[in-house]
Structure 1
């Protein structure tokens, strides 16, 4: 009997506390290309967005300021990492590798290229070119 993920758990969403809901919504929509979706009637302090694979991020306007650390980050992948990097440069979004060297990628031991950058609230985001294949 397989015991790993015997309940079929799949990623549903992440929730982020943000200082300015409209600024954050614009970033995730215009830079990451996520689509705004219905927020289940939660009111004006909540915006929900989703990635191409339907994983959601719930943006919640709050005065609380959680500590930000690159080790705790959102991660997304794209087969068009070079194009995405060019898009970030054209939109003046600074990025770095995992060691903090600006305007460059790094390669993980498994051959995956990755970059890191921050959203308007300082949350770290990784984008890589992983294919996320089951192994």
Structure 2
């Protein structure tokens, strides 16, 4: 390529870049927070801290209101007070938490007498049938919400 062609390309490539970028649409939304309704907020705070290492931070509400915890990438877990009815969701309705390894979570669950299952509900089973090699388990938090825990971070 000669110098003149390089100069022309250098002048017009920035004009073409926005058109090239349109081939992949930009995300229009990002997950901000996940909210759960808790019967015992301190028990929930303690659980999410112990199992996943989440940390609480001040919420903009007065004492007795929702409590907030940090997940990753700016996503928050909001724990709302006042649940009195049992949570009755199927396992397929869940939030998923990705880690580099699910082994520490399984060790914590074993040490605290809490079980887990695979997606089919087989107690103590680890789902390893995903074609990407990710292993996953399903457990319930103190309120009965289902959580998928997977080792997808090992791939990222």
Compute the TM-score of the two structures, normalised by the length of structure 2: 0.74
Of 61, 76, 79, the residue aligned with 1:59 is 79
Of 71, 94, 119, the residue aligned with 2:115 is 94
Of 46, 50, 57, the residue aligned with 1:37 is 57
Which whole-Å CA distance do the structure 1 matches of 2:44 and 2:71 have between them? 15
* Preserved contact between residue 115 and residue 126 of structure 1 (Cα < 8 Å): yes
Could you tell me which residue of structure 2 aligns to residue 18 of structure 1? 38
CA root-mean-square deviation:
1.9
Structure with the greater alpha carbon radius of gyration: 2
Give the structure with the higher percent strand: 1
| Offset, 1:24 | 1.1
2:152 aligned with 1:130: yes
* Preserved contact between residue 17 and residue 64 of structure 1 (Cα < 8 Å): no
Could you tell me which residue of structure 1 aligns to residue 125 of structure 2? 104
2:131 aligned with 1:116: no
Which whole-Å CA distance do the structure 2 matches of 1:46 and 1:116 have between them? 25
| 2:61 counterpart SS class | coil
Which whole-Å CA distance do the structure 1 matches of 2:83 and 2:127 have between them? 34
Of 84, 90, 93, the residue aligned with 1:69 is 90
Deviations 1:64-99 (A, max 9, x none): 545422111110111122232122211222111111
| 2:152 counterpart SS class | coil
Which whole-Å CA distance do the structure 1 matches of 2:140 and 2:100 have between them? 21
2:104 aligned with 1:83: yes
- Ranges in structure 2 where 5+ consecutive residues have no aligned partner: 1-21
Number of aligned positions between the proteins: 131
